[in-house]
Amino acid sequence: MSDYIMSLRKTVGHRPLMQTGASVLVVDREGRLLLEKRADTHDWSYPGGSVELYEKTEDAAARELEEETGIIALSLKLFGVYSGEELHFVYPNGDEVSNIDIVYECREYTGFLKGQAEEVEDLRFFAPDEIPENLFFPVRRPIADWIRKMKEAERQ
C-alpha cells in the first residue's frame, strides 16, 4: 500500500477512500493473459496497485508490474479506465476503498516471472477461454472486456 494511502488511513481509519490504481494486462505472443494469485484473497488478478502521490499512472503501472511479477514493460498502451460499484473493495484488514483503475495493456516486455512473495502466490498465463472462475471481484469487468476484444480480433 502506498505511503500516501497509509498516512490517510491514520486519520480516517477503515472508512472508504477513493484510491487510484494502475494495472497491467500482460499478453504474451500466444495471446495469453498473465494473472497472479493474490496472497491476501487467494483470487486471480492482474498486476497493479496504488498510484503514489504525484506519480504518473504509466510509471505506477510499470513499477507495480515489475515489483509483483519481475516483468519489465517495454511499452504500455491504455486499455481502459474503470470505476464504480464493482471496484468497491474491503481489504481483509477492514480498509474500504472505491477504486479508479487505469488499466494498460503490455505486449512488449522483458524479464523473468518471479512473484513478489508477500503479495503473489502464483503467476501464470491463461488463454482467453481458460481464465479461472475465482477472479478478484474488481478485475472481472476489465478481464471480460479483454476477452471480448480478443474474440473480436479473432473474427476479423
* pLDDT tens per residue across span 21-34: 999 999 999 999 99
- 75 CB-near residues (< 8 Å, 6+ apart): 106, 107, 108
pLDDT at 154: 84
Burial zone of 145 (CB within 10 Å; 0-12 exposed, 13-18 middle, 19+ buried): middle
* CATH code reported for the domain at 3-155: 3.90.79.10
- For residue 138, give the C-alpha cell: 474488481
Question: Which residues of the chain, if any, have pLDDT below 50?
Answer: none
Residue ranges per domain, the chain? Answer: 3-155
pLDDT at 1: 63
Rounded distance between C-alpha atoms, residue 65 and residue 22, angstroms: 9
In this structure, which amino acid lies at residue 90?
V
| Cβ atoms of 104 and 58 closer than 8 Å | yes
pLDDT at 118: 92
Please give the model's pTM, rounded to 2 decimal places: 0.93
